[in-house]
Structure 1
Amino acid sequence: MNFEYSDEQRMLADSADRLGKDLWPSSDRLKLLENFDGLAAQTWAQMAELGWLMLPIAEDHGGLGGSPVDVMAVMEGMGRHLVAVPYVASAVLVPALLGNGGDTAAEVLGAIGEGSAKAAAGLLEPDGGYDLSWVGLSAQRSSGGEWTLSGEKLHVEDGGDADWFVVTARSGGGISDAEGVSLFLVRADAPGLSVRRFRAIDQHRHARLGFSGVTAILIGEADDALADVELAVDKAICAHLAEAVGSMDAALSGTLEYLRTRKQFGVAIGSFQSLQHRAVDMAIALEEARSLSYRATLSLGLPAPERRRVVSASKARVGQCGLYVGRQAVQLHGGVGFSDELIISHHLKRQMMLESAYGSAEHHLARFVAAA
Structure 2
Amino acid sequence: MDFSLSEEQVLLRESVEKYTADHGSVERHRKLSQSDLGFDAQAWQAFAELGWLALPFAEADGGLGGSVTDLMVLCESLGKALVREPYLHCVAACGGLLSLAASEEQRATYIPALAEGSSQWAFAFAEAGSGYDFAAINAVASAADNGFSLSGSKIAVLNGHVADQLIVSALTEHGNPDSLSLFVVSADKPGVNRSSFTAVDGSRGAVIGFENVALAATDMLGEPGNGAAIIAKALDYAIIALGAESLGAMQVLLNATVEYTKTREQFGQAIGKFQALQHRMADMYLKLEETKSLLYNAAILLEEGDSAGPAACAALKVKVAEAGRLISHEAVQLHGGMGMTDELIVGHLLKRLLLLAKLYGDEDYYLERYIQLQAA
Q: TM-score w.r.t. structure 2 length?
A: 0.92
- Secondary structure, aligned partner of 1:172: coil
**2:269 maps to which of 267, 270, 281:** 267
The structural deviation recorded for 1:59 is 2.0
Alignment match, 1:3: 3
Partners of 2:369 and 2:83 lie apart in 1 by 30
Q: Residues 24 and 32 of structure 1 are in contact (CA less than 8 Å); yes or no, is this contact kept in structure 2?
A: no
Q: Residues 140 and 171 of structure 2 are in contact (CA less than 8 Å); yes or no, is this contact kept in structure 1?
A: yes
Alignment match, 1:288: 290
Q: Residues 37 and 204 of structure 2 are in contact (CA less than 8 Å); yes or no, is this contact kept in structure 1?
A: no
Equivalenced residue count is 369
Partners of 1:337 and 1:331 lie apart in 2 by 7
- Secondary structure, aligned partner of 1:134: coil
Partners of 1:106 and 1:207 lie apart in 2 by 27
Seen in structure 2, the aligned counterparts of structure 1 residues 34 and 148 have a Cα distance that, compared at 3 Å, is closer
Seen in structure 2, the aligned counterparts of structure 1 residues 27 and 157 have a Cα distance that, compared at 3 Å, is closer
Amino acid at match of 2:223: E
The structural deviation recorded for 1:172 is 3.4
Partners of 1:367 and 1:317 lie apart in 2 by 13
Is 1:69 the counterpart of 2:62 in the alignment?
no
Seen in structure 2, the aligned counterparts of structure 1 residues 184 and 32 have a Cα distance that, compared at 3 Å, is closer
Seen in structure 2, the aligned counterparts of structure 1 residues 140 and 302 have a Cα distance that, compared at 3 Å, is farther
Seen in structure 2, the aligned counterparts of structure 1 residues 223 and 341 have a Cα distance that, compared at 3 Å, is same
Partners of 2:173 and 2:335 lie apart in 1 by 54
Identity %: 39
Amino acid at match of 1:314: L
Q: Residues 299 and 311 of structure 1 are in contact (CA less than 8 Å); yes or no, is this contact kept in structure 2?
A: no
Q: CA RMSD in A?
A: 2.0
Alignment match, 2:188: 189
- Secondary structure, aligned partner of 1:196: strand
- Secondary structure, aligned partner of 1:299: helix
Seen in structure 2, the aligned counterparts of structure 1 residues 212 and 173 have a Cα distance that, compared at 3 Å, is closer
Kindly report which structure 2 residues correspond to 1:1-372, keeping only aligned pairs within 5 A, or say none: 2-26=2-26, 29-30=29-30, 37=37, 40-99=40-99, 100-102=101-103, 103-142=105-144, 144-172=145-173, 174-175=175-176, 177=177, 179-216=178-215, 217-301=219-303, 306-371=308-373, 372=375
Q: Residues 84 and 204 of structure 1 are in contact (CA less than 8 Å); yes or no, is this contact kept in structure 2?
A: yes
The structural deviation recorded for 1:27 is 6.5
Q: Residues 132 and 230 of structure 1 are in contact (CA less than 8 Å); yes or no, is this contact kept in structure 2?
A: no
Seen in structure 2, the aligned counterparts of structure 1 residues 23 and 39 have a Cα distance that, compared at 3 Å, is farther
The structural deviation recorded for 1:349 is 0.7
Amino acid at match of 1:145: N
The structural deviation recorded for 1:157 is 2.7
Partners of 2:137 and 2:107 lie apart in 1 by 22
The structural deviation recorded for 1:66 is 1.1
Amino acid at match of 2:199: A
Of 338-347 and 307-316, more deviation after overlay is shown by 307-316
